[in-house]
Amino acid sequence: MHKLSPNELKYHCRIKQPQFTTTEEVPPLEGLLGQERAVRAMEFGLRVKRPGYNIFMTGLTGTGKTSYARSMVQKIAVEEPTPDDWCYVYNFKNPEQPIALNLPAGQGAVFCREMEELVEDLKVVIPKAFDSEDYERQKGTYMKQYQESRSVLLDELNRAAQGQGFTLRRTSSGFATIPLVGGEPVSEEEYAKLSPDEKEGLERKSADLQIKAMEIMRRIQKAEKEIKEQLKQLDQRVGLMAIGYLFNDLSDKYDRFDKVRNYLKAVQEDVLANLGDFRLDEDEQSTPLAWAWLKRPGREQAALRYRVNLVVDHRDTKGAPLVYEANPSYYNLLGRVEYENRLGMVITDFSMIKAGAFHRANGGYLILQARDLLSNLQAWEVLKRSLKANQVCIENMGEHVGLIAMSSLKPAPIPLNLRVILIGNPYLYHLLYQYDEDFQKLFKIKADFEIEMDRTSDNLAKLAGFISSCCRREGLKHFDRSAFCRVVEYSCRLAEHQQKLSTRFNEIVELLYEADTWSGIEGSPVVREEHIRRALQEKVFRSNKIEQKIKEAIKTGQILLEVEGEKTGQINGMSLIDLGDYQFGRPSRITATAYPGKKGIINIERESQLSGRIHDKGVLILSGYLGKRYGRQEPVNLSASLCFEQSYSGVEGDSASAAELLALLSGIGGVPLKQGLAVTGSVNQTGEIQPVGGINPKIEGFYAACKISGLTGEQGVVIPSRNCQNLMLAGEVIQAVSQKEFHIFAIDHIEQGLELLTGMPAGEMDAKGAFPPGSVNYRVVEQLQQFNRQLARQARESKPDLELNS
């Protein structure tokens, strides 16, 4: 045990290196500070070009993972080749399965524009070709031949009819034969007057004539079919003559790309098969072409299928793409097929295919937040599925979650060559590694970020460079030497270690912002140490409302707390309250009672379900200590209870186990404890005091309580010796220690605490297993023996009653 001096309560920054007046003289930091392990992992992971070597960056929030990932990846990505553009085009054989085309970076936009220009050219050249005199002359020749052939056949039929004494009338079903008498058609009355033989003769002739008519009609239909085929071939020749050079020029330009050439060939064939979509009707001949197309929206829609949907455009990308997807939902990653409402009908086509983050980052790097990814339905599954298949296949989510899938397009998959960088905390990493067998196959690189670094001269110089770069990048005033020293001390406080600096740079940057603001309010050209202090004070003031309420409750006696005198079975512990953005210490009264029995130690917090598992473990360790220390000669038979008084929100952790043990020993032995000393620390079964967290706010919290009641010069705290290196106390506490108004003691064993709080020797066990009279341990053993005697007497007194009842 030893009493700490003021110099041991904090690291006082009085650095000599680096030499500077303000951080403006310090070169800006390049790279990441204090993360050698993570940097080496990232550099290696980004250089390995093999499947499965994706990266998971793990570490606590605020260590600079995201900003470093972006800067690091950008440096590597800019040296790599730019991947292809990707387009979706109409599939003329299967319209529900659009075709994916890839072209060199920047060529996708060119091809898209060229196809639009091609469509516009088709609207001009095709109508012109079919409005030419040459086309009309050839068409007229074919039509004249057909008309002449048709006239010859009809004349032949009419002559045959007249030769049989009939005339022909055209009907919807063919020809009707009407007999002639005297060169005039026979009326129904005249026909009725004919004899049966005459009627039979006419009917026989009519039947023969109908056979002749059917033969003539077949020959006419054949002639019509031939003329249609001739006209179609004529249209094909004229159309090909009109558009051939357009497609030939494009095909020659994209001769190296087989898919593009095949697509252009399919477009040409479709245009020739649908020339009517481009030809103008007779009433449109005198209308300007642009206005004619505006009057024909149906045909305009038909021409849209020749356009190109450019989903990935890398014309402005330098090197490999780097994509940070802030909202990694299923569709934001995979892409989607959108829909449009037309006249109450939901429709879609290949032009409504939208790219996702996989498409944009293909051939490069994709950065995702693991928490956001896992929070989105099916997003994690689609990431794994795409990485394992090495392709991006746009699908409706309903097909994977058991919903009724809407009929939609099935775009052709795109090959995927992607490096994914996930950013998350250690809990998510270990959760995925343990429960998802695909995770360890797909994310083989772990970049683990530290939350602290050694306080070396080199790291201090780099911290100065970090502040310098922040000032230059964010337009902040530069920091003088005194302000830099206060930032260093704040970093040590964040790290909870005098020899460490925190790597939670987001909190350091927040301090830089706020100190810069206060220096601006005061009109200072640079940030000085008073601005750092003001920023820290105001930061606390914005968050310490609950702490102030607790202090008020202590002052008014609503929270019972004694910081003077002595009490048996009562001690002041120090608990830590964490509000997320603010931590503070709160003194807690711990009481213990002991009496004869065999129930052992009753943890009232546990019985009332206000205790966590770690706290329960700490209480159980106390039983082990009692048995080891006092149960070698006689069994330890007692019933005891421990309680955190006025604690209603739950207790977790074992940092109060030393205080609980001291209170318990006091309650057993009837030895009073000094109430002016608060205790924190964990204890093991041998009585060794173990370090705890949150040591600084705990000490400051008890100091504030003593200050409220009035400092007597006898008050202080007892902490584990192994926590001395973690002390970065507030200046007010250090000043109180300097003036001997407050004291801080460090102990290694529980019996040192016993002697300090009781003012009595703990007592060493002799060879016979006895403790010296007048020691705390002697009082404890004596009382335990008394408990055993009382229990034995009670057992003897109850035995006759049992025999009588039997």
The 10s digit of each residue's pLDDT in 255-287 is 999 999 999 999 999 998 888 888 776 555 555
Predicted confidence (pLDDT) at residue 219 exceeds the cutoff of 60: yes
pLDDT in tens, 390-404: 999 998 887 655 555
| pLDDT higher than 80, residue 685 | yes
As a whole number, mean pLDDT of residues 132-136 equals 79
Share of the chain above pLDDT 70, in %: 94
- Is the model more confident about 657 or about 34? 657
pLDDT (0 to 100) of residue 291: 46
Ordered by where they begin, the domains of the chain are 16-28+454-543 (1.10.8.60), 77-82+317-448 (3.40.50.300), 130-304 (no CATH), 549-789 (3.30.230.10)
What's the average model confidence in pLDDT over 440-466? 93
**In this model, does residue 436 exceed pLDDT 80?**
yes
Residue 635 predicted with pLDDT over 90: no
- Integer Cα distance of 572 and 592 in angstroms: 12
Mean pLDDT of 165-189: 72
Of 416, 363, 424, 423, the C-alpha closest to 387 is 416
Average pLDDT, stretch 598-623? 86
Total-model pTM: 0.80
* Between residues 340 and 734, the one the model is more confident about: 734
pLDDT of residue 583: 94
Residue 56: partners with Cβ closer than 8 Å, 6 or more residues away: 370, 421, 422, 423, 424, 429, 432, 443, 445, 446, 447
pLDDT of residue 293: 44
- pLDDT at position 404: 52
Closest CA to 418 of 325, 510, 503, 348: 325
Average pLDDT, stretch 29-48?
A: 88
Reported as a single tens digit per residue, the pLDDT across 329-344 is: 999 999 998 888 777 7
- CB burial of 282-297 (b: ≥16 within 10 Å; e: otherwise) equals eebeeeeeeebbeebe
pLDDT band at 56 (very low <50, low <70, confident <90, very high): very high
Distances (CA, A) of 777 to 166, 625, 677, 726, 758: 144, 13, 20, 32, 12
In this predicted model, what pLDDT tens digit does every residue of 88-131 receive, in sequence order? 999 999 989 999 999 999 999 999 999 999 998 988 888 888 88
Q: Which of 468-477, 537-546, 783-792 has the lowest mean pLDDT?
A: 783-792
Q: Is the pLDDT of residue 173 over 70?
A: no
- ∠ Cα 477 480 486 (to 5°): 105
Instruction: Look at 284 and 717; give whichever has higher pLDDT.
Output: 717
Residues in contact with 724: Cβ distance below 8 Å, sequence separation at least 6, in sequence order: 4, 8, 746
Q: Is the pLDDT of residue 722 over 90?
A: yes
Residue 407, pLDDT > 60, answer: no
> Which has the higher per-residue pLDDT, 245 or 303?
245
Q: How confident is the model over 556-573, as a mean pLDDT?
A: 94
pLDDT at 299: 60
The mean pLDDT value for 196-211 works out to 76
Q: How far apart are CA 478 and CA 516, in angstroms?
A: 8
Predicted pLDDT at 295: 47
